[in-house]
């Protein structure tokens, strides 16, 4: 079955053009599935799996850890089942297996999870938290300003090279505007504006910090570098955000997507067209972006209930 998995992952990467991080998630979920089939169901070949095997795997994913299961949320279990269904469908189409045992197995339907955005004042505290007198602090400030200014995913931000940034002065305007080229899910490319605060922070980092960090490495086109002079990792970028939130004494929950969620919510609260926000976020579907309108409506409702004298 390992060969069947290898062929499917190759199909995802080469023929469907999925991003490396997405393929890695598929590899992890499907590796656990094949281990489950082998160790708990006695399945040794792709053609031996039956629908009951797939259904039992789904139950195993949702079963609490105390009872020997994985204890996954409905959302995580659904992601794994989607991967399993895709692999079995591929095996059937490629003649690796005669039948598709996962065709009738529907993934669990997760409840709608609203993105958590921070108030503008709280975001400002996070952005101002790094010590801009040190090389690492300048890098951290540039990264955080960049994330909030562009709405980029952390994986997109760390993938930016210096050449992906550009600045120009539009006709009739005195001030330069910046843009950056981002590569999102599935390798989709989009051009996003970069605000003045982020441009200034990145400029200070490029002049006063990046050369010092780069001296420890072997040379890389990456914009954001780690202490060894290499490209900053996702884990490293997440630690930058987490450390800034702790330094700013933020009590709200902070996640790798916090600044992205705040970016979208603040744009909509400021009157931005939802389709423009969709383009800026790189969402393939408008439905994905519309979830932020629910967040904005909830915020307005809370303000109304707390501030209007005859609301309750």
pLDDT averaged over 10-residue windows placed end to end, the chain, 312 residues:
94 88 92 95 94 94 88 87 95 95 86 76 96 97 97 95 80 67 86 93 97 94 96 96 96 89 90 90 84 70 65 57
Quick check: 201 and 212 in contact, CB under 8 A? no
Tell which residue, 182, 160, 158, 180, has the closest CA to residue 232. Answer: 158
**Model confidence over 72-124: pLDDT tens digits?**
888 889 999 999 999 999 999 999 999 999 999 988 876 666 668 899 999 99
The whole model's pTM is what?
0.66
Measured over the CA atoms of residue 285, residue 291, residue 297 and residue 300, the dihedral's sign is negative
Q: Over the Cα atoms of the chain, what is R_g?
A: 23
Name the architecture of domain 2-93: Orthogonal Bundle (1.10)
Question: Domain coordinates of the chain in residue numbers?
Answer: 2-93, 120-252
**For residue 20, what pLDDT is reported?**
85
Q: Which residue has the tokens 């598709």?
A: 100
**For residue 295, what pLDDT is reported?**
67
Q: In the sheet where 189-194 sits, what is the strand order? A: 165-168, 177-183, 189-194
Quick check: 224 and 213 in contact, CB under 8 A? no
Q: Which residue has the tokens 């197995």?
A: 105
**For residue 173, what pLDDT is reported?**
54
What does the block give as tokens for 76?
A: 């995580």
> Strands 177-183, 189-194: parallel, antiparallel or unpaired by DSSP?
antiparallel
What does the block give as tokens for 86?
A: 């895709």
Quick check: 219 and 195 in contact, CB under 8 A? no
Residue 7 neighbours by CB distance under 10 Å: 14
What does the block give as tokens for 312?
A: 């309750």
Quick check: 202 and 142 in contact, CB under 8 A? yes
**CA distances (Å), origin 237, targets 79, 140, 146, 187, 215:** 25, 8, 12, 20, 20
**For residue 109, what pLDDT is reported?**
76
| 120-252 placed in CATH 3.90.25.10 | no
**For residue 36, what pLDDT is reported?**
95
Catalytic residue set:
153, 185, 257, 260, 283, 292
Distance from C-alpha of 74 to C-alpha of 79, rounded to nearest angstrom: 9
Helix runs in the chain, H state only? 2-10, 20-41, 51-62, 74-93, 120-127, 135-150, 154-158, 196-208, 210-214, 234-247, 258-269, 274-281, 286-307
Quick check: 298 and 114 in contact, CB under 8 A? yes
Tell which residue, 147, 140, 134, has the closest CA to residue 280. Answer: 147
């Amino acid at each position: 079955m390992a060969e069947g998995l290898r062929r499917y992952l190759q199909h995802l990467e080469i023929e469907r053009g999925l991003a490396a991080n997405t393929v890695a998630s598929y590899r992890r979920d499907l590796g656990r599935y094949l281990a489950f089939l082998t160790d708990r169901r006695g399945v040794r070949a792709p053609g031996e799996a039956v629908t009951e095997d797939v259904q039992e795997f789904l139950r195993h994913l949702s079963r609490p850890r105390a009872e020997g299961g994985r204890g996954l949320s409905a959302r995580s279990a659904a992601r794994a089942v989607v991967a399993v269904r895709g692999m079995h469908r591929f095996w059937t189409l490629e003649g690796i297996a005669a039948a598709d045992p996962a065709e009738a197995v529907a993934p669990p339907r997760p409840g709608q999870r609203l993105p958590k955005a921070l108030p503008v004042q709280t975001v400002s505290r996070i952005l101002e938290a790094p010590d801009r007198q040190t090389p690492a602090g300048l890098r951290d400030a540039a990264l955080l300003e960049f994330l909030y200014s562009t709405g980029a995913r952390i994986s997109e931000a760390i993938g930016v090279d210096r050449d992906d940034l550009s600045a120009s002065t539009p006709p009739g305007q005195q001030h330069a505007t910046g843009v950056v080229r981002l590569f999102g899910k599935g390798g989709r490319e989009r051009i996003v504006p970069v605000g003045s605060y982020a441009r200034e922070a990145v400029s200070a980092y490029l002049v006063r910090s990046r050369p010092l960090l780069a001296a420890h490495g072997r040379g890389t086109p990456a914009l954001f570098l780690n202490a060894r002079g290499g490209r900053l990792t996702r884990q490293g970028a997440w630690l930058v955000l987490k450390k800034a939130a702790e330094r700013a004494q933020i009590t709200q929950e902070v996640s790798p997507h916090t600044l992205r969620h705040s970016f979208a919510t603040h744009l909509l609260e400021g009157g931005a067209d939802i389709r423009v926000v969709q383009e800026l976020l790189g969402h393939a579907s408008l439905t994905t972006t519309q979830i932020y309108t629910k967040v904005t409506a909830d915020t307005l409702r809370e303000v109304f209930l707390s501030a209007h004298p005859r609301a309750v």
